[in-house]
Structure 1
Amino acid sequence: MKEIRVLLVEDHYLARMALHSVLSGHSQIRVVGEASDGEEGIVMYRSLQPDVAVVDLRLPRMSGFELITQLRQEFPKARIVVLSNYQGSEDIYRAVRSGAMAYLTKDASGEELVNAIQSVDRGLRYLPRIALDRLAERIPSVDLTPRESEVLACIAQGRSNREIADELHIAEKTVRIHVSSVLDKMGARDRTQATIFALQRGLIHLD
């Protein structure tokens, strides 16, 4: 079983120690670094290049939102789990828009955190029901064709246009047309927003 290398970015020492203890108790996960503020988190990520970063949003010197944005700019494939006390829809939305692939509140169980890390490491999003519920007011009505629904499911899995074309056995140009139609019908600015909308409305389900 693949070992998952994890970086913790959390300013509270006791919280960081608790996270380290929980994660180190899992045979598949190894905590390779701990940062106490956003700027240190950037430096350590560059040095360690972990499989997954677990990030708080309230950090000294650089907020979690800024940290996520910068990491994704430098490392487009960075896989980030947010673990925060913030529960507002705008906080969740901003975190996911910035590039986080999972969002948990700090009352989540250790088992759920491990599940989120494992999902994100596989390239999957992890948004529990409480996070999806907070985003409800952002969801527009939508009526997709069967083919558009298939394309949307592939989008949610993070697949490129070429990968979607191969999966559905259609031309890449046709995929671009479907993607454009899906975004337009859902009122989404990009693929991430379309995925959030689709998850909340139950149009797709990610295991």
Structure 2
Amino acid sequence: MPDRISGASAAPKPTGAPAAPTRVLIVDDHPMLREGIAAVIGRQADMAIVGEAANGVEAIEQYRAGRPDVTLMDIQMPGMGGLEAIQRIRAEDGDAAIVVLTTYPGDTQALRALRAGAAGYLLKSCIRKDLLDTIRTVHAGRRAIAPEIAQEIALHALDEKLTERETDILRLVAEGHPNKQVAWRLSLSTDTVKAHLKNIFAKLDVADRTQAVITAARRGFIDI
């Protein structure tokens, strides 16, 4: 047997296969937004698109089919919205990592999404700047909440919340119904509706119906 060559360099250690890319599902009812997000993600070596959906029902189907690592979920969509889709996906897979994409930095909507199981919350206006970091953060098992939204949550943390009845009244007001119609639809007296509106104005720190609707929508109490 030949002698071992003294001082010979050891064979290089295998570096192993490259890490699999983060698999992303995009859920939004606007095709152009989905295309824009897909274009950004498509340029990343560590990410890959595994599906797209336009509503909550499609989101659940695409999640089951593709089992993405991270799902980007719009909130306001026709048919089944994002919050219900988050709840259903998380009920099937408790490890599902979901990032909410939204136009409004409302504290109430954000808290609903986080309680439903969302791991991230990102404003659509910040997608170009923060999307990739948010995906990587959530995929690593950490939460990622936009600073604007975190500030809104902190700002209103001690505020008295609207009751279910007050929210119902505001939805009807947002649709343009006067007090008499609101009262008729909810089987209340007009005086009771007026009393509820007074409480709503105080809780939202507004002076009239229009401001109440705008503020309630911005904070996520109602959709308009």
Which residue in the other structure is 2:157 paired with? 138
Q: For residues 32 and 96 of structure 1, do their structure 2 counterparts lie closer, same or farther at Cα, with a shift above 3 Å needed?
A: same
Whichever residue aligns with residue 24 of structure 1, its letter is G
Which residue in the other structure is 2:139 paired with? 121
Q: Normalized against structure 2, the TM-score is what?
A: 0.60
Unaligned runs of 5+ in 2: 1-18, 160-224
Cα deviation, residue 139, structure 1: 6.0
CA–CA distance in 2 between the matches of 1:12 and 1:44? 17
Identity %: 35
Cα deviation, residue 109, structure 1: 3.7
Which residue in the other structure is 1:175 paired with? none
What SS does structure 2 have at the residue aligned with 1:133? helix
Whichever residue aligns with residue 81 of structure 1, its letter is V
Which residue in the other structure is 2:28 paired with? 10
Count of matched residue pairs: 140
CA–CA distance in 1 between the matches of 2:53 and 2:47? 17
Instruction: Extract structure 1 runs of 4+ deviating beyond 6 A.
Output: none
Cα deviation, residue 111, structure 1: 4.0
Q: Normalized against structure 1, the TM-score is what?
A: 0.65
Counterpart pick for 1:80 among 93, 98, 114: 98
Which residue in the other structure is 2:52 paired with? 34
Counterpart pick for 2:78 among 41, 60, 73: 60
Cα deviation, residue 9, structure 1: 0.5
What SS does structure 2 have at the residue aligned with 1:118? helix
Unaligned runs of 5+ in 1: 141-207
Check whether the contact 2:42–2:48 (CA below 8 A) recurs between aligned residues. yes
Q: Residues 100-135 of structure 1, C-alpha deviation per residue, up to 9 Å, x if partnerless?
A: 101011101424110010011011000121111010
Whichever residue aligns with residue 87 of structure 1, its letter is P
* Residues 135-174 of structure 1 aligned to structure 2 (within 5 Å): 135-136=153-154, 137-138=156-157
Check whether the contact 2:72–2:101 (CA below 8 A) recurs between aligned residues. yes
Check whether the contact 2:23–2:69 (CA below 8 A) recurs between aligned residues. yes
CA–CA distance in 2 between the matches of 1:86 and 1:109? 13
Cα deviation, residue 84, structure 1: 0.9
Check whether the contact 2:123–2:146 (CA below 8 A) recurs between aligned residues. no
Say yes or no: does 1:100 pair with 2:123. Answer: no
Which residue in the other structure is 1:25 paired with? 43
Which residue in the other structure is 2:67 paired with? 49
Coordinate RMSD, CA, aligned: 1.4
Which residue in the other structure is 2:10 paired with? none
What SS does structure 1 have at the residue aligned with 2:94? coil
